[in-house]
Structure 1
Amino acid sequence: MIQKFSRFVNSGAGLEKTLRLIQCTAQVVAALTVSSALAVQLTTVKLQLALARRYFRFFGFIDSFQRMSALLGRDGFGSVGGLIELAKWTCFGLYFVLEDLTTLHAMGVYAVSWHDPVMDQANTFWLYALSFSVAGGIWALLFGPSEQLAKKDGEKKKVESKKAVPVKATPSSALIQQIVVDGCDLLIPLELLNWMPTGDVVVGSTMVLSTLLTAQNIWARV
């Protein structure tokens, strides 16, 4: 168990989830505590860990745009599921880029006057990306098998249910888990944008749930 935990926290993804779990736990406790001094300390912990986690996703736009490029080169416009995925990774890429632009400001190195509006736009794209992810998961559950039939080589791609060979689809359990995770995380940009304020306790609690769900997949791989 100790060796497993060591491999988990020494992996980039595992360490990020560990920091996220501490961050959201501190957020919930800070909101519930009656001690103002402890609340200030825990809020500082939350903010510092949130900043630390930004470094883990600093180059996240590269993977997002690569996925977007792969969809454009394959069948991003050939199906509803493909269109949703294309929109999702485009929004994720834009979110990462805009957030990266404010990193020096967040670090206290170089303050800029446009920090707040840029972060509002970044969080808006994050909200859109998570919404598309939830929509894509629901679509895949309902219509995924029919869209994931193998297609013949060539410019004309036909789907013939009798002749086509099914492509390995994402298990329903994984899709449901992803819908739950993204649905929980949706509350974060909604709170940050003040579109649907739910409070630190609710946001922090849903962050704990989504973190544990994604962490268990990483735990199984290490």
Structure 2
Amino acid sequence: MIQKFSRFVNTGSGLEKTLRLIQCVSQVVAALTESSALAVQLTTVKLQLALTRRYFRFFGFIDSFQRVSALLGGDGFSSVTGLIDLAKWTCFGLYFVLEDLTILHAMGVYAVPWNDRVMDQANTFWLYALSFSVVGSIWALLFSSPKQPAKVTKNEKAQEKVAPVHTTAASTLMKRVVVDGCDLLIPLELLAWWPTGDVVIGSTMMLSTLLTAQDIWTKLA
């Protein structure tokens, strides 16, 4: 267990999820303890970890726009799923770019007067990206069907093998809906479109972090 945890935190994604979990726990405890000295300390922890995690996704726009490029060169406009993915990754890419523009301000290196406006736009694109992701997952759950071999109806054993694959895919999609649905509350809170408070935000962050960390954990040998 200790060796596996060591491998987990030594991966970029595993370390980021670990820091995110500490951040959301700190946020919840700080909100519950309110104006105590502990709350002030934990709020500092939360803010510092939030900044640290920005470094992990600094180049996230590269992967996002590569996905956009692949979709444009493939079936991006030929299917509903392609259109949703195209919109999702475009919004994610714009979110990463706009957030990166304010990194020096967040580090306290170079303050800019337009930080709040740019971050509002970044969080708006993040909200759109997560919304498209939820819609895409629900669409896939409702309208996608597993690809079965031609002789599956004549072979019961083949049917038994196909069903678990489809079940696993559906489970993955449902988990993605839950994760993105939880994370949707963060930009809604930041934009003040639907304020829910630190306890709710921290708790839903904790849930989405544990679910995504579980996927990373299970992939480790």
Cross-structure match for 1:194:
192
SS at match of 1:184: helix
The structural deviation recorded for 1:221 is 1.3
Verify: 1:131 aligned to 2:131, yes or no: yes
Could you tell me which amino acid in structure 1 is paired with residue 53 of structure 2?
R
Aligned length, in residue pairs? 204
Cross-structure match for 2:90:
90
Q: Name segments (4+ residues, structure 1) moved above 3 Å.
A: none
Cross-structure match for 1:221:
219
Verify: 1:208 aligned to 2:206, yes or no: yes
Summarize deviations over 1:154-185 as a string: whole Å, max 9, x none.
xxxxxxxxxxxx9x977000000000000000
CA spacing shift, 1:189–1:109, aligned 2, 3 Å: same
Flag structure 2 segments of 5+ consecutive residues without an equivalent. 149-161
* Separation in 2, partners of 1:3, 1:123: 37
CA spacing shift, 1:138–1:106, aligned 2, 3 Å: same
Could you tell me which amino acid in structure 1 is paired with residue 186 of structure 2?
I
Residue identity over aligned pairs, in percent, reads: 80
Summarize deviations over 1:34-68 as a string: whole Å, max 9, x none.
55211110000000000000000000000000001
SS at match of 2:113: coil
Could you tell me which amino acid in structure 1 is paired with residue 217 of structure 2?
W
Between Structure 1 and Structure 2, the one with more helix by share is 2
- Match 1:182 to one of 161, 180, 198: 180
Cross-structure match for 2:32:
32
**TM-score, structure 1 as length reference:** 0.89
Cross-structure match for 1:56:
56
**TM-score, structure 2 as length reference:** 0.89
* Separation in 2, partners of 1:35, 1:14: 32
Could you tell me which amino acid in structure 2 is paired with residue 84 of structure 1?
I
Cross-structure match for 2:157:
none
